[in-house]
Amino acid sequence: MKPGKMTLDEFRLSELRLYPNATGELSNLLREIGLAAKRIYSVISRNGETGILSSTNIRNTSGEIVKPLDQYANEELLTVLKHSLSCAGVASEEEENILVFDNKANNNSQYVVMFDPIDGSSNSNNCMTVGTIFGIYRRCTKTGTPCSIKDFLQPGRHLVAAGYIIYGVSTMMVYATKRGVNGFTLDPAIGEFCLSHPKICCPDVGRIYSVNESNILNFGVTVRQYIESMQQYNVAYPGFFTARYVGSMVADLHRTLLEGGIFLYPATEDHQDGKLRLMYECNPFAFIFEVAGGMAIDGCREILSIIPARVHQRTPLFIGSRDMVTQLSYFVKYENRAGSRRS
């Protein structure tokens, strides 16, 4: 019988060996996030007993309904990262302000973490796929002092690592450093994430587009034209393109990363900055896709080049296979944000 697949811990150690001067802090962070993910997976999978997938009337700082699962996952990540010696502070989609772990040990660490504890939580009542998204930055303030908002308001280009956990038919952690993107599937028998998708590359083209089409009449005319161009192509070549939209970004982008395609969350008349959050959702995925050979833009700029002004800011997002996003950019040019509205 062959030995089992490499665990996330073994993989981290093998990467650490390549850098004799590495402190191991980044590696520790990935382990801690993996631990939180296993606990989150555990309560989701025991919903009958925990009732974690039910609803509340509480709203978060962005005005969205907060579910017990959002709260639990947020607390779990906060606690694990606070106990870790490798994190100086965090920003969470579910917290109004950044949280500075102001004590001697945490002040000495080099990294801050930003996360969306549960992405797609509105889908969770229906047993649909949800996820956790995270991004890790090296601090720009001095270690040994408490971290500050400056450490968080960095462009995505400065990310050191980013990843997501998808709680679906199986549970997977996918994470990227500049060295590559790798996927680890949770083996519940041993309670470990094991390397299942080494060196993930996003195909240059794909045949799936992913967008909330109910909003199409509120999109800018050029985005509409791009979507219609795929629909028209199908008149000549039936079935060439197909649409898939789960409504959980992690699920839609996991599929896009592995199979190729394009995901669009454009500005609409009501939401000029789109819906998705730059720091917790768009930057981590833009980083992952770029490392995997894909591309992410807001219509005029690379997502990773945006200098953030606020931790909760939103941005339109077009992300996926390089050739498809490039083609979309020819359609959108610079019109999208300039307010090219319904024709």
- In the complex with ligand AHG, the residue whose CB is nearer, 116 or 290, is 116
Residue nearest to Mn ion (CB): 119
CB burial string 62-88: b at 16+ within 10 A, e below: eeeebbbbbbbbbebbbebbeebebbb
For residue 273, CA distances in Å to 217, 266, 280, 302 come to 16, 8, 15, 15
The span from the CA of 172 to the CA of 170, in Å, is 6
Q: How many residues bind ligand AHG (CB under 6 A)?
A: 12
**According to CB under 5 A, which one of 32, 119, 151, 290 is a site residue for Mn ion?**
119
CB of 267 closer than 8 Å to CB of 273: yes
- In the complex with ligand AHG, the residue whose CB is nearer, 214 or 343, is 214
DSSP string, 242-294: EE---S-HHHHHHHHHHH--EEEE---SS-TT-SSBIIIIIHHHHHHHHHTT-
Residues 79-98: x where in contact with Mn ion by CB under 5 A, - otherwise, as a string:
--------------x-----
CB of 160 closer than 8 Å to CB of 177: yes
Stretch 221-280 residues interacting with ligand AHG (CB under 6 A): 247-249, 275
CB of 260 closer than 8 Å to CB of 204: yes
Residue 303 interaction partner, one of Mn ion, ligand AHG, none, beta carbon < 5-8 Å per kind: none
116 binds Mn ion (CB under 5 A): yes
Residue 247 interaction partner, one of Mn ion, ligand AHG, none, beta carbon < 5-8 Å per kind: ligand AHG
94 binds ligand AHG (CB under 6 A): no
Stretch 120-159 residues interacting with ligand AHG (CB under 6 A): 120-122
- In the complex with ligand AHG, the residue whose CB is nearer, 122 or 141, is 122
The span from the CA of 295 to the CA of 201, in Å, is 12
212 binds ligand AHG (CB under 6 A): yes
The span from the CA of 17 to the CA of 13, in Å, is 6
CB of 114 closer than 8 Å to CB of 280: yes
The span from the CA of 166 to the CA of 131, in Å, is 4
CB of 132 closer than 8 Å to CB of 158: no
Minimum separation from the CB atom of position 275 to ligand AHG (A): 6
Residues 51-70: x where in contact with ligand AHG by CB under 6 A, - otherwise, as a string:
-------------x------
213 binds ligand AHG (CB under 6 A): no
Stretch 3-62 residues interacting with ligand AHG (CB under 6 A): none
- In the complex with ligand AHG, the residue whose CB is nearer, 10 or 64, is 64
Minimum separation from the CB atom of position 6 to ligand AHG (A): 30
The contact set with Mn ion (CB under 5 A) reads 93, 116, 118-119
The contact set with ligand AHG (CB under 6 A) reads 64, 93, 116, 119-122, 212, 247-249, 275
